[in-house]
Structure 1
Amino acid sequence: MQGLDDMTNRGAALKAIVAYSAPLEFNMQAAGWIAVVSHWLIERFPDSGLAAEWAALSSVELGLPLETPSQLKRTFAEQKIDERLRWLAGLPTKAALRAMAMPQEVNKESAETGRREVKLSLTSRAVVDPARIEALRELSSPEFDLTKLIRLCEEMNLAFATESYLSMAMLTRAIVDHVPPIFGKNTFAEVASNYGGATLKRELTNLNTTLRNIADLHLHSQIRRKEVLPTITQVDASNSLDVLLAEIIIKLSGDR
């Protein structure tokens, strides 16, 4: 991968000076390395989210400019460099999988081979735990048919695997609008306000406010001169969604 060796060598050189470098010098070099790699990722892998992943890794620094770093602080800095070097080592595989999964690449391959279908070749973690989907599938309710809910969860995993983050936002909105009758309510706002204790209410409120607003933003905004696509950070509601699905399973299992 062109440029990767240079990015890695810069990190290795930074690691070599951890043991004796002054904080000001070290912090400037660390910030420079992180910035150079970030710029390289943006140019080499545009719209992939890899630069955002790199930026989200732990910061590398030795403390305030005039302080004398302890051995423990130097060790921590070295560990943070190692973390980023491991990330770079895994970049070729990560980039290849992401390229195969990105919607534009999937559609481009289909067009080039003259097919009228798309072919997915990818491996991805599940944003909705398969155990939750299986638990929903095993439920038998005389009042509610869970077929659509299960399908929405399955499509959420497909959207995540193909980095279809607009679809993830919309699917989250669809799920929260679909389930209120299970809790005896007409709207999800009523569910969030009246169901469970304080912690549960906080997670459900997150689905009803923050994530609903994000979905509305992408569903209803009109075309503009400049658009910026959402990242996984913006649309990921997996924690709150898992809490909601767990409560549905408890509710329909007759345990509450």
Structure 2
Amino acid sequence: MQGLDDMTQRGAGLKEAIAAYSAPLEFNMQAAGWISVVSHWLMETFPDSGLAADWAALSSIELGLPTQAPSSFQRGLARDRIDEHLRWLANLPTKAALRAMTMPQQVNKESVETGRREVKLSLTSRAVVDPARIEALRELSSPEFDLAKLIRLCEEMNLAFATESYLSMAMLTRAIVDHVPPLFGKNTFAEVASNYGGATLKREFTNLHTTSRNIADLHLHSKIRRKEVLPTITQVDASNSLDVLLAEIIGILTP
């Protein structure tokens, strides 16, 4: 893959130089420059693939505040985050090949070309809803609530992510949020977000109620326009807040 070795070497050089930086400002600028260069390379090499957005969503790399001497912890954290980015680049060839095979327009094109009235998928993907959460839900039994639909919504969320069906992800997030309030003894998720749990839970649930709902509404109710800009994974990924929600549901229903 042309250019990948150069992108990787830049990151490896940045990692080796961490110990030499006595002030974070220069390092932070160098790290931001590397992130930017790789991002532009991804956009040019893999246009419309969403890979640049995935790269941008990785943890930020910095040594701390510009005027403060970095601690050993901050140096170690910066090193770990560079490793995270390097692992992502190492997996890029496989990721790019899988993405090319599973993007919705490519799947549809192959079906048309072969004269099939079927859709064929061959993919491996990260799960945005942890399979362990889904299994935990499946093992629960409640005399009041049937979890079958919630489980299926979570499974379809993973399928939507695997096929880069980001519009579906936004809508599935809203469907989950609208589906679960009775588990918390509430009629609406607005009531859950306002009245359930401590500060951390309220923050995560409020994010689901406001940001995720607004994004879903944007795509569900917007009229066709002269020019559309499709969402990226960065826009529709609410996996962290969803995991908090599912963990709380499991806690509520576990005897």
Q: TM-score range by the shorter chain?
A: 0.7 to 0.9
Secondary structure (helix, strand or coil) at the match of 1:209 reads helix
- TM-score of the two chains, using structure 1 as the length reference: 0.78
Return the alpha-carbon distance in structure 2 between the equivalents of residues 115 and 9 of structure 1.
44
Name the aligned partner's letter for residue 162 of structure 1. T
Secondary structure (helix, strand or coil) at the match of 2:97 reads helix
CA deviations on 1:115-160 (whole Å, 9 max, x unpaired) are 1111111111211111221222222222222211111111011111
Larger Rg computed on CA atoms: 1
With CA pairs under 8 Å and 6+ residues apart, which has the higher RCO, 1 or 2? 2
Q: Which residue of 2 aligns with 1:124?
A: 125
Larger deviation, residues 80-89 vs 44-53: 80-89
Name the aligned partner's letter for residue 125 of structure 1. R
Return the alpha-carbon distance in structure 2 between the equivalents of residues 244 and 19 of structure 1.
40
Secondary structure (helix, strand or coil) at the match of 2:144 reads coil
Secondary structure (helix, strand or coil) at the match of 1:216 reads helix
Q: Which residue of 1 aligns with 2:49?
A: 48
Residue 96 of structure 1: how far off its partner (Å): 0.8
Q: Which residue of 1 aligns with 2:186?
A: 185
Preserved CA contact (<8 Å) 2:50 2:232: yes
**Gap regions ≥5 residues in structure 1:** none
Return the alpha-carbon distance in structure 1 between the equivalents of residues 91 and 34 of structure 2.
18
Give the 3 Å change call, closer, same or farther, for CA 202–31 of structure 1 in structure 2: closer
Return the alpha-carbon distance in structure 1 between the equivalents of residues 19 and 208 of structure 2.
47
1:137 paired to 2:138: yes
Return the alpha-carbon distance in structure 2 between the equivalents of residues 79 and 150 of structure 1.
34
CA deviations on 1:50-108 (whole Å, 9 max, x unpaired) are 222334554589x98xx9x99x8999989877765554343211211221222112222
Q: Which residue of 2 aligns with 1:201?
A: 202
- TM-score of the two chains, using structure 2 as the length reference: 0.79
Residue 26 of structure 1: how far off its partner (Å): 9.1
Name the aligned partner's letter for residue 249 of structure 1. I
Give the 3 Å change call, closer, same or farther, for CA 245–78 of structure 1 in structure 2: closer
Give the 3 Å change call, closer, same or farther, for CA 29–104 of structure 1 in structure 2: same
Give the 3 Å change call, closer, same or farther, for CA 206–112 of structure 1 in structure 2: same
Give the 3 Å change call, closer, same or farther, for CA 74–161 of structure 1 in structure 2: closer
1:176 paired to 2:177: yes
Preserved CA contact (<8 Å) 1:176 1:207: yes
Residue 109 of structure 1: how far off its partner (Å): 1.8
Give the 3 Å change call, closer, same or farther, for CA 25–168 of structure 1 in structure 2: closer
Q: Which residue of 2 aligns with 1:39?
A: 40
Name the aligned partner's letter for residue 217 of structure 1. L
> Mapping of 1:28-107 within 5 angstroms?
34-56=35-57, 58-59=60-61, 86-107=87-108
Larger deviation, residues 83-92 vs 139-148: 83-92
Larger deviation, residues 101-110 vs 166-175: 101-110
Give the 3 Å change call, closer, same or farther, for CA 105–133 of structure 1 in structure 2: same
Name the aligned partner's letter for residue 172 of structure 1. T
Q: RMSD over aligned Cα, in angstroms? A: 3.5
Return the alpha-carbon distance in structure 2 between the equivalents of residues 124 and 246 of structure 1.
22
Give the 3 Å change call, closer, same or farther, for CA 86–60 of structure 1 in structure 2: farther
Return the alpha-carbon distance in structure 1 between the equivalents of residues 75 and 185 of structure 2.
57
Return the alpha-carbon distance in structure 1 between the equivalents of residues 87 and 208 of structure 2.
34
Return the alpha-carbon distance in structure 2 between the equivalents of residues 29 and 115 of structure 1.
50
Name the aligned partner's letter for residue 170 of structure 1. M
Name the aligned partner's letter for residue 229 of structure 2. V
